[in-house]
């Protein structure tokens, strides 16, 4: 029997996060984002996690413990991140509130955006940034361009959604 190029539960691209204290991160993601633990393989020292997988909704997320000797540094070690994880959720307001209650820092509260989503931004305690969205309407390219211009005009005049 032929084996697929990827496991059946995986999508083509799967984020792989480096975190400080992988076990704690897995517990946190379960609390904040209803993540389900799939696997956690211990590192050679028996304490660290060299590979873990969690499932959030229909998507997999891989994790590993920070290990500078192997070139694995978390956003906490680097002083920030250049990547944001984006999750579509059924109710962005409730999901945002749940994540903040679990320990995320709110960067931008939920707001209706010009592209048709209700959208919010967070930072988790491990330094990773997340955006959450609930799709509310399909917007034509012409309408999106019009709304985008209005949005940026309101930002210049002190409008909403500044992070």
The per-residue pLDDT for range 7-49, each reduced to its tens digit, is: 888 888 999 999 999 999 999 999 999 999 999 999 999 999 9
* Domain-embedded: residue 10: no
Contact 22, 52 (CB under 8 A): yes
Q: How many domains does the chain have?
A: 1
Q: Which residue has the tokens 């975190």?
A: 19
Which tens digit of pLDDT belongs to each residue from 42-55?
Answer: 999 999 999 999 99
- C-alpha–C-alpha distance, residues 163 and 21, integer Å: 28
Domain that holds residue 141: 16-156
The pTM of the full predicted model, rounded to 2 decimals, is: 0.87
Sign of torsion over alpha carbons 71, 74, 79, 84? positive
| % of the chain exceeding 90 in pLDDT | 85
87 within domain boundaries: yes
């Amino acid at each position: 029997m032929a084996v697929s190029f990827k496991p059946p539960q995986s999508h083509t691209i799967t984020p792989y996060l480096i975190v400080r204290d992988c076990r704690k991160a897995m517990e946190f993601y379960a609390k904040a984002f209803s993540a389900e633990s799939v696997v956690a393989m211990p590192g050679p020292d028996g304490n660290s996690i060299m590979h873990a997988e969690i499932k959030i909704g229909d998507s997999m997320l891989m994790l590993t413990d920070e290990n500078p000797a192997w070139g694995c540094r978390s956003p906490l070690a680097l002083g920030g991140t250049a990547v944001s994880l984006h999750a579509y959720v059924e109710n962005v307001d409730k999901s945002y509130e749940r994540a903040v209650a679990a320990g995320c820092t709110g960067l931008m509260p939920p707001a209706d955006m010009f592209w048709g989503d209700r959208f919010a931004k967070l930072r988790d305690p491990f330094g990773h940034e997340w955006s959450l969205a609930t799709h509310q309407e399909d917007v034509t390219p012409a309408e999106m361009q019009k709304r985008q211009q209005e949005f940026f005009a309101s930002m210049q005049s002190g409008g909403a959604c500044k992070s």
